[in-house]
Amino acid sequence: MSSQQKHRGGEGLECHHCQHCDKSFKTSSSLKSHQRTRAVFKFSCDQCEKPSTTSELKAHQLVHTGEKPYSCNQCGKAFTSAGNLRTHKRVHTGEKPYGCDQCGKAFTYSSQLTIHRRVHTGEKPYSCDQCGKAFTSSSQLTTHRRVHNGEKPYSCDQCGKAFNSSGDLTKHKRVHTGEKPYSCDQCGKAFHSSGDLTKHKRVHTGEKPYSCNQCGKAFTSSSQLTTHRRVHTGEKPYSCDQCGNSFRARSELTVHRRIHTGEKPYSCDQCGKAFSSSSQLTKHRRIHTGEKPYSCGQCGKAFKSKDEVKAHQLTHTGVKPFSCDQCEKAFTSSDKLTKHKRVHSGEKPYSCGQCGKAFNFSGELTKHKRVHTGEKPYSCGQCGKAFTHPCYIQKHRCSHTASI
């Protein structure tokens, strides 16, 4: 036989051989298909031996030379082939010719549609060889692997901060430019990324698509659920390199570090008081507005923060779920337990920037600083005498009542 040689043998043997490349096939139809492919790809690259057609070979060889003769007349980006340029132009025209037949979502490239379809099928063909986590695209796996190797190849040219992915860097740059291209069509609030806008919209819809499989609590974002799950597992993966304190969320560690640095980036526009977190500032502003949006369902008492009402509700139940493992003293909140533990450890994380004196609690440091500043924010309504702490003014007021 001119094109192939047949060999008889046991079942499953590859008995059809191509005379051009010595490749073997189990069936004659597979061999014929292979030969048709060879007929089309008659040429191969002399540098890497990749098989190609005449036209494809010319475009492919530009990969080795670095030449990009086709450039976009709108943004100047250059490409090795006219086909790649045509595809790129869809970025400017907004054309999305590839639509999903299940949900109707459209895409610029066919490869994007292929990856998107896996959302519906649940297919995740790319898995990490270190932790087994699976992904819908090879690019997601590449980005994920940087979690293990610590690689952050994308760095900001303004502040030097480095990132795992180009997308994260693009979002970060908007912190410097102030650009917020994604705005809510209901309230007009603008965001740095489309993901942040998607999460925000759930404030209006009330949607909480991520629920805990242990307690059923639902969340607006997957990251909130991930952080919440650590309540059940006890995992605290973010630790402070100065004092060793560990936290469930990266944002908690960021706020905690400001205890050591003294940084307070959030200041009140009414009294100038500064805070280490935006949530502390939000709570503080309610002192000026008098707002107490959280009320107890049993007695109706109102509070400035959700944490305050939760702690208060335990006074009705008598439950103190947070107990010290050294003396077994119990508390209504984790914050109170954390403060109490410093009695045993001797830890004094709050130090004065002027004299170096250290304190167990931030409130004690605030009071101490008034020794240096001379500030006396608590004044008597009867005689005008001022004091550094509210307990002193209470004692002073008794002197007025005693003299009556």
The one-digit pLDDT tens for each residue of the chain (404 residues) are 444 444 444 444 456 777 656 567 777 777 777 656 554 445 566 666 555 555 566 666 666 776 788 889 988 888 877 888 888 888 888 888 889 998 888 888 888 899 999 888 889 999 999 888 898 999 899 999 988 888 999 999 988 889 888 888 988 898 888 888 889 999 998 988 888 888 889 889 989 888 899 899 998 888 889 899 998 998 999 999 988 889 999 889 999 998 898 898 888 888 888 888 888 888 888 888 888 888 888 899 988 888 888 888 888 888 888 889 999 888 877 888 888 988 898 888 888 888 989 888 888 888 888 889 888 887 887 888 888 777 777 788 788 776 65
Q: How many residues in the chain? A: 404
Q: Mark out the alpha helices in 275-389 (DSSP H runs).
A: 278-289, 306-317, 334-345, 362-373
Backbone angles phi, psi at 25, to 5 degrees: -135, 155
This model's pTM is above 0.75:
no
The dihedral built from the CA positions of residue 316, 317, 322 and 324, taken in this order, carries a sign that is: positive
- In sequence order, the 6+-apart residues with CB closer than 8 A to the CB of 201 are 184, 186, 207
> Which pLDDT value is given to residue 99?
92
CA distance 387 to 375: 8
Three-state DSSP state, 214: coil
| CATH fourth-level superfamily of 294-401 | Classic Zinc Finger (3.30.160.60)
Determine the pLDDT at residue 1.
43
Q: How crowded is residue 240: how many other Cβ atoms within 10 Å of its Cβ?
A: 15
Task: Report the pLDDT value the prediction gives residue 45, as an integer from 0 to 100.
Answer: 65
Taking CA 81 as the corner, what is the angle to CA 79 and CA 84, rounded to the nearest 5 degrees? 70
- Say how many C-beta atoms besides its own lie within 10 A of residue 311's C-beta: 17
Domain chopping of the chain, boundaries: 294-401
pLDDT at 35: 59
Residue 155: what pLDDT? 92
CB-based contact 347:338 (threshold 8 Å): no
Cα atoms in the Cβ-side hemisphere of radius 13 Å centred on 98: 13
